[in-house]
Each structure stands twice: as C-alpha cells, then as structure tokens.
A and B are shown apart, each in its own frame.
Chain A
Amino acid sequence: MSSIFLNPKARYSTSGVTHISYHNPYMVAWWSAVFPGFGHYILNQYLRATLLSLLEVIINTGANLNEAMVYSFCGEIELAKATLNLDWMLGYILIYLVTIADSYRGAVQLNTLSKLAEPTIPSFEIFPAEVSYLSKKNPLISALHSFLFPGLGQLYNQRIFLAFYSIFWWWVYILLSHAHMAIVLLITGDFESSLRILHPHWLSFMPSVLGGSVYFAFVTCRDHNKLFDESQKDRLSKRYSGSKLRL
C-alpha cells in the first residue's frame, strides 16, 4: 500500500486511461506476430503501436504479402513466388521480426517497472475536450462490441482515438475486400458471386484485426476494472486511515 516510490500506475488524458500492468511477454510477442503494432497496443504504447500498424498496411500492400500468404496456404507456391514484390520483401521481414522482439522486450521491461507503480488515480478527470473516468465494466460486453465492429470495444473502454482509428480502418477493409457485401450475398444464397467479389489482399487483414481488437478490448476492460478497485482502495484507505472508532 504505502510506498516511497510515487509512480502512478495510470493516468487520464483526452484519449482515456493509459496504464501499465503485468502482461505475459509471449502473449505480447504473439500479437505483434499477428499484426505488427498490436503487441505495443497491449503495452499501452499507443503512439508507436499506431505508427507500426500503419507501416504494416503500407509495407504489406507494397510487398503483396497477403496474396502470397493466401497462395502459399493453398499450395500454389509458384503463384506465391510470382506475386511477392521483391523490392519490399527483405525490409518487410526485418521490420516484422524486430517489431516482435521489441514488443517482447518492452513487455519484460514494463513488467519490472509496474512493480514500482502505485494505483494513485482519482475517480475522474475533466479535460477541455473530454471527461475521462474509471467505472466497472463487463469485459465480455467489451469483447462483443469489438467482435461486431472493431473499435466499438475500444469506445466502450473509452480509448477514443484508438476506437475511431480502428473504425476507420475496418471500413477501409470492408470497402476494399467487399466482405460485408459477400456476407449479404452468402445469406441471400448467391454463393458464386460472394466468392467472386472478395479481394484476398484486404480480406486477409480482417481476421487478425478482428481478433486483436476483441482480445485488446477484453484485456483492457479487465485491467480497468482492476485499476478501479485498486485506486478506490488506495483512495478510501487514505481518507479513513485516521479512524478513532474502537469496537
């Protein structure tokens, strides 16, 4: 409870709550492998995570990596070889692997630092353009929001910039891959055209983004609940520490 090290574990800003907590470094590395940048989101390093995820879309598109991946999984090795743009390939591999290693290292270091941090955070804070606060939320509801449309879970968790960043990109994927159109065609029974309109490059981003968004919404919500309990305990224990009540 009482520590001489007054490092807060969390703080409010216009974009919500930013905090550090324990994360399994392998899990962080796994999400970086799924989509470069996602591991850094879990560590709450939003700026570098956003830049890395932007970089991933650009380099992946340049290298035609998603198409090559689809062809490889389908056993069309010659087609995969022909699709891959060699100008972009080596750089992609280097940045991809170093991103994974960087997020792993970040997780290990933040796990150590989080031992020095105390949950000293008020119940809410008011900014010129936003009101940020902690409240009890349901992690499964948060995950469900992101499952319906990535970004909505982040909105539920009040990470507003990430929420709209995700919503924007999900729309880009929907429009360029025609995924929603394909779903509607599937439901109405037009199987042939639903298959024809799908674009492999943009569709291949979608499972990883959807999974990452669901996972991140769930974990953030659970961390926020924990932060709520810890900070309330810290606050009230200080307020009522001078109790003269004798039973």
Chain B
Amino acid sequence: MIIVGTFYQSIDMEIALSQIEKRGIPAEKMLVIFMNEYLPVRSNKNQLKDIHSSSFEIGIAFATGLAVIGSSLGFKFFLGPIITGVLAAIIGFSIGYSIYYFTNRKKSLTKPIKQNEVTIIIECPNEQKLEISELLWRHKAISVGIKDNKG
C-alpha cells in the first residue's frame, strides 16, 4: 500500500511525519521529496525572489529618502511637515517600486513561487491506510493519493 501526500512546507507537515513514525511506520518506509528544485543558481544576486518583494524593498528605500526631504520642506510649505512627509513617502514609494518593477519585470520568473511544496510517499500496511491518510489531511495536506497493491 502506497500513500502519497503533498504539502506546503510548514510545521504541520513535520508534525504529520512524526505522528506517522509514532504509529509504527519506520523512517525507511518513507520518502520525503522537496519540490521546486531549480538548477543551481550561479550568483546570489539572481536568487529566485518574488519581483514584488524586491520592488517593495526599493520602494521603502525611496520612500524613506523622500520622506526626510519632504518633512523638512514641510516646515515652510503650507501643508506642514506631517502631510508633506507622508505625501513625499507615497510618491517615493511609487517611484521606487515602479523603477524596480518595470526594469526587472522581464528578467523575473513567469510564475512566482509562493510557497515551497513537499511530497511525502509512505509505504504502509493495508489496515493503516485510513489512519495514515486521515492524519495527512488533518495536518493540512494539499492532496493525498492512495495506490492499492492489488492492481
């Protein structure tokens, strides 16, 4: 009897594995495969990051710079330092975010990785089938598959 479960990487998945071992299935009867294996990345600079995440970083950096200038100018400007500072921060964020996003859009992955997935394959006796698959579901499995030995 083979049971296959897919998960997002989480503590729940690790708890599921330890629970399965507690129910008498030895570690050697299990395979844990981490998905999203990419070819080795040459430089750290090009590591797979979500483009929105990097754009946000640049946006905050620009926002901070402009907010300092904006709030200083605000002491003379009629809107006052707080409103001018906030406006400058919003403008700075938009500029920084757009600059990074539009210059790196084409270089980024077409499909951003949201969460890393894991596939777990377990070989277990027929009578534990329900118990194990229920355990996988209860620990937030994305999907569970069962293969009978008969066919």
- Cβ of A139 < 8 Å from any Cβ of B? yes
Which of chain B's residues have a CB closer than 8 A to the CB of A123?
11, 14
CB pair B27 A27 closer than 8 Å: no
- Cβ of A99 < 8 Å from any Cβ of B? no
Which of chain A's residues have a CB closer than 8 A to the CB of B10?
136
CB pair B82 A183 closer than 8 Å: yes
* Other-chain residue from B2, B75, B118 in contact with A70 (beta carbon distance below 8 A): B75
- Cβ of A73 < 8 Å from any Cβ of B? yes
Q: Which of A203-218 contact B (CB under 8 A)?
A: 203-204, 206-208, 210-212, 214-215, 218
> Which of the segments A8-16, A55-63, A237-245 contacts the partner chain?
A237-245
Are A22 and B45 CB-contacts (below 8 A) given A208-B68, A215-B60, A215-B61?
Answer: yes
Expressed in whole angstroms, the minimum distance between the Cβ of B71 and any Cβ of chain A is: 5
Nearest B residue to A23 by beta-carbon distance? B44
Q: Which of A223-247 contact B (CB under 8 A)?
A: 228-229, 232-233, 236-237, 239-240, 242-245, 247
- Cβ of B95 < 8 Å from any Cβ of A? no
Per the bound structure, the CA–CA distance linking A243 and B61 in Å amounts to: 48
Per the bound structure, the CA–CA distance linking A243 and B30 in Å amounts to: 6
CB pair B68 A204 closer than 8 Å: yes
Expressed in whole angstroms, the minimum distance between the Cβ of B17 and any Cβ of chain A is: 7
CB pair A74 B75 closer than 8 Å: yes
Are A194 and B80 CB-contacts (below 8 A) given A204-B71, A215-B64, A244-B28?
Answer: yes
Expressed in whole angstroms, the minimum distance between the Cβ of B18 and any Cβ of chain A is: 10
Per the bound structure, the CA–CA distance linking A72 and B69 in Å amounts to: 10
CB pair A236 B14 closer than 8 Å: yes
Best-buried of B28, B30, B72, B85 by chain A (most CB within 10 Å): B72
- Cβ of B81 < 8 Å from any Cβ of A? yes
Expressed in whole angstroms, the minimum distance between the Cβ of A89 and any Cβ of chain B is: 18
Nearest B residue to A222 by beta-carbon distance? B53
Are A211 and B63 CB-contacts (below 8 A) given A22-B44, A74-B75, A203-B71?
Answer: yes
Nearest B residue to A179 by beta-carbon distance? B82
Best-buried of B56, B68, B73 by chain A (most CB within 10 Å): B68
- Cβ of B83 < 8 Å from any Cβ of A? yes
CB pair B47 A204 closer than 8 Å: no
CB pair A218 B44 closer than 8 Å: no
- Cβ of B130 < 8 Å from any Cβ of A? no
* Other-chain residue from B30, B45, B53, B69 in contact with A245 (beta carbon distance below 8 A): B30
Are A111 and B123 CB-contacts (below 8 A) given A203-B81, A243-B28?
Answer: no
Are A218 and B56 CB-contacts (below 8 A) given A212-B64, A247-B121?
Answer: yes
CB pair A245 B31 closer than 8 Å: yes
CB pair B121 A245 closer than 8 Å: yes
CB pair B72 A74 closer than 8 Å: yes
- 22 of the cross-chain contacts (CB-CB < 8 Å) are A22-B47, A24-B45, A27-B57, A72-B72, A73-B72, A75-B76, A191-B80, A195-B80, A210-B67, A215-B61, A218-B56, A228-B9, A229-B9, A229-B116, A232-B14, A233-B9, A236-B118, A237-B34, A239-B17, A239-B27, A243-B29, A247-B121
**A interface list, Cβ under 8 A from B:** 22, 24, 27, 30-31, 34, 69-70, 72-75, 111, 114-115, 123, 135-136, 139-140, 143, 179, 182-183, 186, 191, 194-195, 198, 200, 203-204, 206-208, 210-212, 214-215, 218-219, 222, 228-229, 232-233, 236-237, 239-240, 242-245, 247
Can you list the 10 inter-chain pairs with the closest CB atoms, starting with the nearest?
A: A211-B64, A207-B67, A22-B44, A73-B72, A74-B76, A70-B72, A240-B32, A215-B60, A244-B28, A207-B68
